Amino acid sequence: MRPFLAHPFDDDKLKEECGVFGVIGVADAANFVALGLHALQHRGQEAGGIVSYHPDHGFNSARRFGYVRDNFTRADVMETLPGAIAVGHVRYSTAGSKGATAIRDVQPFFGEFAVGGCAIAHNGNLTNAAALRRQLIERGAIFQSSSDSECIIHLMARSMQKTLAERIKDALRAVEGAFSVIAMTRTKLIGVRDALGVRPLVLGRIGDGWALSSETCALDIIGAEFVREIEPGEMVVIEGGEVRSSRPFAPAASRFCIFEQVYFSRPDSIIGGRSVYETRRQIGVELAREAPVEADLVCPVPDSGTPAAIGYAHESGIPFGMGIIRNQYMGRTFIEPTEQIRNMGVRLKLNVNRALIRGKRVVLVDDSVVRGTTSRKIKDMILDAGAAEVHFRIASPPTAWPCFYGVDTPERSKLLAATMSEDEMRDWIGVDSLKFISLDGLYRAAGEAAGRDPKAPRFCDACFSGQYPVAPSDKIAEGFQMKAAE
Amino acid sequence: MRPFLAHPFDDDKLKEECGVFGVIGVADAANFVALGLHALQHRGQEAGGIVSYHPDHGFNSARRFGYVRDNFTRADVMETLPGAIAVGHVRYSTAGSKGATAIRDVQPFFGEFAVGGCAIAHNGNLTNAAALRRQLIERGAIFQSSSDSECIIHLMARSMQKTLAERIKDALRAVEGAFSVIAMTRTKLIGVRDALGVRPLVLGRIGDGWALSSETCALDIIGAEFVREIEPGEMVVIEGGEVRSSRPFAPAASRFCIFEQVYFSRPDSIIGGRSVYETRRQIGVELAREAPVEADLVCPVPDSGTPAAIGYAHESGIPFGMGIIRNQYMGRTFIEPTEQIRNMGVRLKLNVNRALIRGKRVVLVDDSVVRGTTSRKIKDMILDAGAAEVHFRIASPPTAWPCFYGVDTPERSKLLAATMSEDEMRDWIGVDSLKFISLDGLYRAAGEAAGRDPKAPRFCDACFSGQYPVAPSDKIAEGFQMKAAE
Amino acid sequence: MRPFLAHPFDDDKLKEECGVFGVIGVADAANFVALGLHALQHRGQEAGGIVSYHPDHGFNSARRFGYVRDNFTRADVMETLPGAIAVGHVRYSTAGSKGATAIRDVQPFFGEFAVGGCAIAHNGNLTNAAALRRQLIERGAIFQSSSDSECIIHLMARSMQKTLAERIKDALRAVEGAFSVIAMTRTKLIGVRDALGVRPLVLGRIGDGWALSSETCALDIIGAEFVREIEPGEMVVIEGGEVRSSRPFAPAASRFCIFEQVYFSRPDSIIGGRSVYETRRQIGVELAREAPVEADLVCPVPDSGTPAAIGYAHESGIPFGMGIIRNQYMGRTFIEPTEQIRNMGVRLKLNVNRALIRGKRVVLVDDSVVRGTTSRKIKDMILDAGAAEVHFRIASPPTAWPCFYGVDTPERSKLLAATMSEDEMRDWIGVDSLKFISLDGLYRAAGEAAGRDPKAPRFCDACFSGQYPVAPSDKIAEGFQMKAAE
Amino acid sequence: MRPFLAHPFDDDKLKEECGVFGVIGVADAANFVALGLHALQHRGQEAGGIVSYHPDHGFNSARRFGYVRDNFTRADVMETLPGAIAVGHVRYSTAGSKGATAIRDVQPFFGEFAVGGCAIAHNGNLTNAAALRRQLIERGAIFQSSSDSECIIHLMARSMQKTLAERIKDALRAVEGAFSVIAMTRTKLIGVRDALGVRPLVLGRIGDGWALSSETCALDIIGAEFVREIEPGEMVVIEGGEVRSSRPFAPAASRFCIFEQVYFSRPDSIIGGRSVYETRRQIGVELAREAPVEADLVCPVPDSGTPAAIGYAHESGIPFGMGIIRNQYMGRTFIEPTEQIRNMGVRLKLNVNRALIRGKRVVLVDDSVVRGTTSRKIKDMILDAGAAEVHFRIASPPTAWPCFYGVDTPERSKLLAATMSEDEMRDWIGVDSLKFISLDGLYRAAGEAAGRDPKAPRFCDACFSGQYPVAPSDKIAEGFQMKAAE
């Protein structure tokens, strides 16, 4: 029932909920998918699954709780996944059942249709899934999981189209929200992004085969060449070594998730021709310009604050130093820990480099503030080690709105920035100063020299701005209050 | 028999073989020991054990393969370890049986003597253990493990002393080599360092209780105050809140392991009043002075090369950047992996930040070169990503001699520096330049302004110099050739 | 993938494929179901599942491989199954996927319908399932298991009826074959038997609640009173303490499976007012009359041959003795055994009581001969122990036809009696004599004083007679040749 | 800590504590030992261990909780035990630590001596072990287990003899109590029985190799020929295909455990040239003569009462029937069962064949009465099923004294027969009559036509007579009161 306990100290980050990876045209495709998922593990750490197809052995799948490296490296597992085509998925807790994930909620989902079998791996979130699910059950669908993504399979089953690729189009035209989907049939690997392109999806070439991935870092691990991003609203169907592209959805202006730049994506992934690391370093540079301070040391909150701290140190001229050391052996889970250990919280993961910090005025650079609870604890640790002053610099604007597009965010009332001003937050955290980068500064760092165009913002920044590019209809039906038009 | 397979990609580092931690005078002492061992996990990742004593329940112990956080956080395990006094141990593979560790080799070892029970946790290595073991068996001892450290228990059993503390002295006077030992009886916590003080041991205060630990970072995690180092040749006996000190061994000049500074100890630990991080950063500064180069980017080989790279960048003025990104989900073990995954080697752990590296002249800073195999692979990755030049700078002198004092080193013939000159190594690795810090430079960085005194070196540097402060008698008996006197 | 290996020595019996049990109106109903399933374990040893419903916690389920006593006695499992209504199922390998069962094939199956949730446990086999499955997939059903029984859930989803009970009727009217089904909704426990009543189903009363079970022995274990059998073609709906009966199917003459009398049912279960033990003992009496022999000892082949051997000894006057001893610690499975152990075969399970057998003329009484391989091995053991003569007496007629109604039988070509006469079987097995009870004798022992009425046999005896009361349409489509009309 | 919970319903039998098996001169000897231990599983169900020796791989061992068939059939375990010589042991909880067994208490024990390695498997109990242990610890021995049998290893270590066989003699001359020991060195298999021969040990021949076993049934399973019993006080040393016999102990009259005949040994084992089954059947015959009753049915309490019931029925002429049916899927353990399931007690294991019992006067034949709790429950079940009368006949005399020679018996105060007369027991159990076989009758059934010779009884019958052939010195020191001389 509860094979993994999410550990209780890590609830102060937004969580990307999924990573997807698929490959076609290479022997033992599932091995490549396993490696790709290992590289995408930061996008979903709770569970993973792989489906492969082999002409002699049909479709096979394996779904497991835990890390990819613990499950999908074992020869005894991988030999059950033969074939030259495979797709995989890693997930955090999705918009499924409250509480723990059941293994039946672990993707890829598979459906056997009159026209053949098809597996689907979905990154994102459908904002009308509850309504769709209700309608599908009324028409005789038997849901096996509590995952919204299963709707796609049932919509496909009801489509009258002859090919699975066309059925996928039918199904995805009926859903709302954000999705990057990788699907596979016996002979095709298919990739689709929603019209706004909220979640990422990239195409790579490996030998005579092809790969689809959430991020480029997963192409690197298998030695694939990064070819291009799948474009917002594009569907690619790869078969017999050919990539065919089509545009199933009504055209729309692209709205890529800006939080992928801030935190979700791996720093060695490439977005828009530049490494995410460089963008984050540039955020630090902008932050040093927007919010300078006199200090002795710039320290990252490891590990996600490091690139911005390097940029801040470089721009400000204040020395960069590792004032907080991360325990490398900290996993994300504990099985029924003792009370005492549960109470250690952040100390299990981070320790202050006391001899370095003592007597110094310290600038702490972190990627974001969600609930603020971790920030308080880190401040306590730093002061306890004898720091003279503590200045927080945050590499993202205040996170004041929940995400409904595939990110695990607390309810709005739990978001510190939803209830406090910047000054109130500074006092509540208890630091000498607290500054967030501006939304314009963030856009500049992400390559928009002119900052954010309020009429047509280039990114989805709903978590900062409250402006949702797709109305979250299920949530509105449940009573969610959108931001009043300004 | 083989619960854990050491993963095949990590054989290119020296390995510290043990960490020890003990606490007395606090409720649920085993919980504190678990936390301390978690902070010392880098000193031994294969297995761990804890022994505790409670007046009502006697001595209890638990020994497990795997990480501390997976075993010794569970309430069902910890509730079997009641009491206000406990000691623990983490280990890599010790000088025990070839191949895998058996659970019976996991410390602390326990002996029931006529004068009461006693548990022993040992960090270090006894250089005359084989001879001792032979003699003890001849006199009727039944060894239960293949670990040399078990000799201490049998020597204690044969001592005629009345108290366990005196028996420990007797036993340790009979052994040669390096040891930091934490022992416990029903009422005493005991710490001892060999006369040269090769391996570390520190004393901390927590409330009304006391802690002994390999490093200060483990005092931090439990909120203990760092009091002082146990001195070379010192024995402390803690009982009833009092710490009594004695000097059981013949006086000798201290020879602390310099590799603790380079690699073994955690950067946030304090040695000689300064953080290990600062010493490593200073190594980078020295290295920039000794071996400058014209370049565009200073990159650490993560994670151990980072402080030296920060120092090198600072001193040289070349920008610091994270050109290599570490996969955070890389554990140290795989259970029977597929051939393909086994062959991925370092790629599973590291990826190049390609967009940052492309076209740049890169200085790579690493902590040491052992076999050199990983260095070659990293060079390949960097060049493959389009670097213009690759310059290796190593934060330690060439490692040319094995360690016999509690560190897992390859045979001499496998050490790259034992068979090649610096130029030959450069060509074999295939980089544009390769420079190691000098032994004098390393001593300067470690606080010896005058460099190394060849008559009376302050540290044990046998792995670099071949000068062994304690003759490794078992090894010599096996045929090991010591360095000819110069 | 393969959590349990069926052990290689047990393929010489027909296997009942399922047992079902349900209870309503008692606190912690799942506990009672677990006990009932434990008593029905002989009907299915590979896996089991329980679904319960509680108003506060909804429907919950647990499915496990292995014995009921190892899974469904644990408090940590049972506390996840709260509520006053529950159904359960034990299974051998069903007519699902070739090879190993997947956990998704383990019943009860559950469907969420617009009108509420419903769980189904099915004992029997649907002879038109393949055709139904094909049609349902064409109409958009997504099958999750390879089990034929899942058709019932999809047929229910497509029914236009308002209540779940009516939908079950709709679904079961569409299927052909043998079924005893226990279903549950939030408030109702439902039992149904097919029109011929091939598989058993009985009703019991426990306090103010009710139970449905495959056999009466499972009523005994929970202390329930045996009320009556559910009649062929009857449906009972139990709700609010009331049992309402209806007859959804066209009336037909009853054809209860006669092999339940011979082997499947437990000897302490009651069928037709008499214990199965008594019927089997009577088979032995009939057999002694039909096939007498001069001998010194009557030995059962343990354990299923014991009652008939007691009857044979009593009727013949030859002493009864335990010439073959069963190892009580023999489970049914081995996980990847060594070659040597695999080859031990029947020796792991049975040993001859050598000192008793030596020099005696022995009558061995067994329940049936399927492939005959075990009979040969037992004969070898008996002769090896020094028996003077070996006479086999079989408590059922020759098994010459496969069963398609929920029993695992080899292909026809593997059945010894399908390819050999009684004399040929005797020679092949290598015994002094071999006699089967006649079909008339079996009917007499089962209470039909006049023997079998060839026009209207009271039982389904297709495995002996080749006369199938329901045409196995899927199998005929696959090429199965029914017996030519006589 | 608590890998197996002894199940709570089985405490009403005496428990043999160990079985031992060894083989020499056959390839893959450990496989044969595994099979032998499987056949001896009734002698110890909690844990098992095997040690083997191979010239290239040295001594190897495996120790596991649980059944032999679950652990020592797996190829991955067995391939770690190479070699042509091996010994094994199965155990119930021995006279080790109170409460659960630790894996370190599981035999065989192994010692590395100056003269080579030696493994020891011990069946029996040393009555002076506590005193020996104290002395050995005072002289420097480090005990690793809480098992008394470990004393043998430490006594061997202290022996001045040159060969291991001689050291075993030295060690066994120092112990008191009952023992059948199988030991192995690199080249020898050694078997020893104490001077009284309390516990069994037999010799078998397999091909060119030899086997030693607690019982003959374990020779049968590996196809070994039963050669002879090891005699009381005899030591055999098997090496190079030769069996050499010696007599290390002072001669004494044999006192074989009579409870091996009544209950411990398997019915298909041979003792004194007759099968145990035959002796038990004869006990039933004697019992029918000593304690006849008018009745309709003789029922065994399964399974151990069956042979005596067959004898009783034969001698009395009352029909034999299986009125109580045993659930074949009942294991001996539950892991943290629910309260409700714990309370089911004997019902989980036994069910009454109600239709057979109803209205009948029933003779229940059981092997022994220990606490009497199970007898009461069975009587309740039989009466609840409608029996007219219940008469208990017990195939052993009243068990009134604890055993100190390797059998797990309750304290004397918990033995029903220690506190009540036969009539009081009858009333307490609540049956119409209760009769035990007389001690003379038991001796007659065991082949002593003249009954028991009170001056020189042939068997150890201390549990019935209170006459202990070896004074239990440790127990006397703890305060145990022996029976006053008559």
DSSP secondary structure, A92-105, as one string: SS-SSSSSSPPGGG
Model pLDDT, residue B93: 61
Closest Cβ opposite residue D275 in set C275, C320, C353: C353
The C-alpha angle with vertex C254 and arms to C253 and C256, in degrees rounded to 5, equals: 155
Note if the pTM is more than 0.80: yes
Model pLDDT, residue B4: 32
Model pLDDT, residue A100: 45
| Mutation for testing the C interface, residue in D78, D216, D318, D341 having most C CBs under 10 Å | D341
In terms of Cα–Cα distance, which of C294, C295, C300, C298 is closest to C280? C300
Model pLDDT, residue D97: 39
Q: Is B151 annotated as a binding residue?
A: no
- Give backbone dihedrals phi and psi of A357, rounded to 5 degrees, phi first: -80, -30
Does the pLDDT at position B10 exceed 70? no
Amino acid at B173: R
| Mean pLDDT taken over chain A | 92
Q: What is the mean pLDDT of residues B95-122?
A: 79
Residue spans of alpha helices (H) in A274-371: 276-290, 306-316, 339-342, 354-357
| Cβ contact, residue pair C336, D75, below 8 Å | yes
DSSP A165-196: HHHHHHHHHH--EEEEEEEE-SS-EEEEE-TT
CATH code of the region D274-452:
3.40.50.2020
- Give backbone dihedrals phi and psi of C57, rounded to 5 degrees, phi first: -115, 0
User: What's the pLDDT tens digit per position in D260-281?
Assistant: 999 999 999 999 889 999 999 9
Tokens linked to D447: 């082949």
Strand (E) or helix (H) holding D286: helix D276-290
Task: Evaluate whether the domain defined by B15-255 bears CATH number 3.60.20.10.
Answer: yes
List, in sequence order, every beta strand (DSSP E) within D404-486: 407-408, 433-436, 459-460
B-contacting residues in D 418-447 (Cβ below 8 Å): none
Task: Provide the pLDDT confidence category of residue D3 given band limits of 50, 70 and 90.
Answer: very low
User: What's the pLDDT tens digit per position in C207-252?
Assistant: 999 999 999 999 999 999 999 999 999 999 999 999 999 999 999 9
Q: Which is higher by pLDDT, D103 or D313?
A: D313
Beta carbons within 8 Å of B397's beta carbon, 6+ residues apart: B436, B437, B438, B439, B442, B461, B464
Round to whole Å and give the CA distance between D61 and C204. 53
User: What's the pLDDT tens digit per position in D35-58?
Assistant: 999 999 999 988 999 999 999 999
Q: What is the mean pLDDT of residues B153-172?
A: 94
- The least confident of A13-22, C132-141, D81-90 is A13-22
Model pLDDT, residue A285: 98
Compute CA C30 distance to the chain's CA centroid, rounded to the nearest angstrom.
Answer: 22
| Cβ contact, residue pair C157, A141, below 8 Å | yes
Round to whole Å and give the CA distance between C122 and C43. 12
Q: Is C304 annotated as a binding residue?
A: yes
Place of tokens 């069926």: C6
Does the pLDDT at position C146 exceed 90? no
Residue A40 in contact with residue A17, Cβ under 8 Å? no
Beta carbons within 8 Å of D460's beta carbon, 6+ residues apart: D178, D196, D198, D255, D256, D257, D258, D405, D469
Nearest CA in chain C to A112: C142
Round to whole Å and give the CA distance between C469 and C485. 13
Residue D61 in contact with residue D51, Cβ under 8 Å? yes
Strand (E) or helix (H) holding A473: helix A473-478
Beta carbons within 8 Å of D93's beta carbon, 6+ residues apart: D6, D17, D46, D100, D101, D408
Nearest CA in chain C to A153: C142
Q: Is C403 annotated as a binding residue?
A: yes
Q: What is the mean pLDDT of residues C374-394?
A: 96
CATH for B273-452 (3.40.50.2020, 3.40.50.300, 3.40.640.10, 3.40.50.2300)? 3.40.50.2020
Closest Cβ opposite residue D334 in set C73, C335, C339: C73
| Cβ contact, residue pair A67, B277, below 8 Å | no
Place of tokens 């506590």: D130
Nearest CA in chain C to D44: C329
Place of tokens 């309490």: D301
Round to whole Å and give the CA distance between C469 and C458. 11
User: What's the pLDDT tens digit per position in C330-366?
Assistant: 765 566 778 877 777 788 889 999 999 999 999 999 9
Does the pLDDT at position D6 exceed 50? no
Nearest CA in chain D to B138: D114
Residue B49 in contact with residue B88, Cβ under 8 Å? yes
Q: Is B299 annotated as a binding residue?
A: no
A328, A331, A332, A336: CA torsion to nearest 10: -140
Residue B104 sits at the chain A interface (C-beta within 8 Å): no
D-contacting residues in C 354-373 (Cβ below 8 Å): 354-356
Length in residues, chain B: 486
Which residues of D are less than 8 Å from B154 in CB distance? 140, 142
Residue A103 in contact with residue A125, Cβ under 8 Å? no
- The least confident of A190-204, B87-101, C168-182, D97-111 is B87-101
Task: Give chain B's radius of gyration (CA, Å).
Answer: 23
CATH for C275-448 (3.40.50.620, 3.60.15.10, 3.40.50.2020, 3.40.50.300)? 3.40.50.2020
Residue A116 sits at the chain C interface (C-beta within 8 Å): no
Which residues of B are less than 8 Å from D143 in CB distance? 112
**Same fold for the pair D15-255 and D274-452:** no
Phi-psi region of C231 (alpha: psi -120 to 50; beta: other; left: phi over 0): beta
Q: Answer yes or no: C18 catalytic.
A: yes
Model pLDDT, residue C10: 52
Q: Which residues of B203-239 are buried (b: 16+ CB within 10 A; e: fewer)?
A: bbebeebbbbbbbbbbbbbbebebeebbebbbbbbbb
Model pLDDT, residue D364: 98
Round to whole Å and give the CA distance between B73 and C99. 40
In chain D, what are the domain boundaries?
Answer: 15-255, 274-452
| Cβ contact, residue pair D322, C307, below 8 Å | yes
Is residue D456 classed exposed, middle or buried when 0-12, 13-18 and 19+ CB atoms within 10 A define those classes?
A: exposed
Does the pLDDT at position A411 exceed 50? yes
Q: Please tell me whether the peptide bond between B366 and the residue prior to it is cis, using omega within 30 degrees of 0.
A: no
Round to whole Å and give the CA distance between D378 and C420. 47
- How far from each other are the two terminal CA atoms of chain A, in whole angstroms? 46
Task: State the CB neighbour count (10 A cutoff) for residue A455.
Answer: 5
User: What's the pLDDT tens digit per position in A183-221?
Assistant: 999 999 999 999 999 999 999 999 999 999 999 999 999
Task: Evaluate whether the domain defined by A280-450 bears CATH number 3.30.565.10.
Answer: no
Does the pLDDT at position B464 exceed 70? yes
Maximum Cα–Cα distance across chain A: 72
Model pLDDT, residue A484: 77
Amino acid at A483: K
ipTM of the complex: 0.90
Relative to beta strand D350-352, strand D274-275 is unpaired
Round to whole Å and give the CA distance between A120 and A192. 11
| Mutation for testing the D interface, residue in C303, C318, C328 having most D CBs under 10 Å | C328
Round to whole Å and give the CA distance between C247 and A343. 62
| Cβ contact, residue pair D80, B1, below 8 Å | yes
Annotated binding site of D for [4Fe-4S] cluster: 257, 403, 460, 463
Residue C27 sits at the chain D interface (C-beta within 8 Å): no
| Mean pLDDT taken over chain B | 91
Round to whole Å and give the CA distance between C452 and C448. 7
- How far from each other are the two terminal CA atoms of chain C, in whole angstroms? 46
Q: Which of the 8 DSSP states describes residue C7? A: P
Residue D160 sits at the chain B interface (C-beta within 8 Å): no
| Mean pLDDT taken over chain C | 91
Q: Which is higher by pLDDT, B323 or A98?
A: B323
Q: In what order do the strands lie in the sheet with B297-300?
A: B297-300, B361-366, B389-394, B433-436
Does the pLDDT at position C7 exceed 50? no
Model pLDDT, residue A332: 58
In terms of Cα–Cα distance, which of B88, B145, B154 is closest to B121? B88
Residue C154 sits at the chain A interface (C-beta within 8 Å): yes
